Amino acid sequence: MFAVKSEYDKTYGSVLRIFPEHIRIPLELLPGNLWKHVNEIRLRAAAPIMVCIQGRYRYLHEFTDKACGPGNTVLQKDLRNVLEMATEHSVYTYQEDIKKGFITVKGGIRIGICGRVHMKNGEIVNIHEISSLNIRISREYPGCAVPLMKYIVDDNGNIANTLIVSPPMCGKTTILRDICRLLSDGYTPGPIPDGVNVGLVDERSEIASCLNGVPQKYVGKKTDILDDCPKVLGMNMIIRCMSPAVVITDEMGSEEDEQAVMNVLNAGVKIIASSHGYSMEDMHIKPGIEKLMKRKVFSRYIVLCNRNGPGTLKEVFDHTGFNRIYG
C-alpha cells in the first residue's frame, strides 16, 4: 500500500483550481483523511457529484451539507466551466486530445470526457454537448516500487524483462512510474546506483503526464519520453533514436504489441510493461501476452492487488508464469 506523506498533498490545489466556486467549496470540506485517498471525481449532467475513495464510489453530498447545485446535481454549464478552467480558457488548443476522449492538464490531472460525438469520414473529429467528466487524480509516491526492485534487478545489475499485472485502480501506473524513476536515477543500496537510460513510451500520457513536452510527474533524469504515441510505433522509434537500456510502457495485450516487444528484445534492450488483469490466468486470454508467455520473453510477472490498498504486492512468478516466487 502506498504511504501518504501529508494530509493535504500537492495535488489538492491543482485539482481544486479547475472547479467553479459552488463545486470547489463542497470539495474543500472533504476531511483531509478522505481527500488524500480520492482517486476520481465524477461529474455527470443532471446527476450528483461522485468521488472515488480507494476504489469505492460515494456521493459528495454524503460528506457535507453544502449544496453544489440545485438538488446537489451538476448542470451542463458546470461541465463546460470545468473544461474551460482546466484548460485555462484554451479548450481549442486541446482539440486533438478531446476527440480521443481525455485531456491531461497542469499538475498531471487527467480528465475523461463523454458527450455527443461528431464523426466525419468515419473518424471522430470532436466531442461536444459534454455530458460527463471524470477527473482522475494520480499521485506520486516516490519509493513505492523499492520493494519490487529485488525481483526486477539482480545483484549484478541485470534488468529482468518484467510484466506488471494489475486490475484497474490498483496502482499499476504509479508503480510503473516509480520503477521508471528508480532505473533512471539509480537507487542505493542497489546494484545500479547511477541509473540507466530509460525509454518511456507513454501512449495515454498517464505515466509522465506530459504537458507541452514537460513531464508533470517525475520519471527520472535519464528518461526520454514519447508522449501520446501508439505503443507499437513508439517502441520501434525509441530504440532507434534514443538507444535506451530499457523500454517502459503501459497496458499491453494486442498481437501488434507482441511484435513490437520482440523488436525491442532483438535490439538488445530490456522491456518492462503492464497489463490489466486480476491473475496470471487473465493473461492467457490476451493474444499478444500469451504469445510472449509461450516464448518465455518475460523473466518476471508481478501481480498487484488492492487487498491492503493500491499497490499491494500479491504474487511474483518466474519466466514460466506458473512457478511462484512470492505470494
Q: What is the pLDDT of residue 1?
A: 52
Last residue of some domain: 76, 106, 136? 136
One domain, residues 127 and 152: no
If one counts every other C-beta atom within 10 angstroms of the C-beta of residue 40, the result is 17
One domain, residues 293 and 189: yes
Q: What is the pLDDT of residue 2?
A: 53
- What is the H or E stretch that residue 7 is in? none
Q: What is the pLDDT of residue 10?
A: 61
CATH number at residue 180: 3.40.50.300
Q: Measure Cα distances from 325 to 89, 147, 152 in Å.
A: 52, 14, 12
**Partners of 275 in the beta sheet?**
165
Range of the domain at 123: 11-136
The total number of structural domains that make up the chain: 2
Alpha helices in 117-162 (DSSP H): 149-152
Q: Is 173 helix (H, G, I), strand (E, B) or coil?
A: helix
Does some domain include residue 57? yes
Contact 166, 314 (CB under 8 A): no
Does some domain include residue 109? yes
Contact 239, 267 (CB under 8 A): yes
Query: pTM of this prediction?
Result: 0.86
Contact 27, 19 (CB under 8 A): yes
Does some domain include residue 59? yes
CATH number at residue 38: 3.30.450.90
Listed residue (231, 241, 168, 236) closest to 205, CA to CA? 231
Contact 172, 206 (CB under 8 A): no
| Chain centroid offset of residue 273 CA | 12
Does some domain include residue 6? no
Quote the longest CA-to-CA distance of the chain.
63
- Cα separation, 18 vs 103, whole angstroms: 13
**Phi, psi angles (nearest 5°) of residue 44:** -125, 135
One domain, residues 238 and 308: yes
Q: Beta strands of 32-181 (E only): which ranges?
A: 38-44, 50-53, 56-59, 102-105, 109-120, 123-136, 162-166
Task: Report residue 202 as a C-alpha cell.
Answer: 507513454
Contact 311, 175 (CB under 8 A): yes
Residue in the block written with cell 510477472: 301
- 10-residue averages of pLDDT along the chain (327 residues): 48 86 90 85 96 90 78 91 93 91 88 95 92 92 94 96 94 95 94 96 92 92 96 96 97 90 97 96 92 95 90 95 94
Q: What number of residues does the chain have?
A: 327
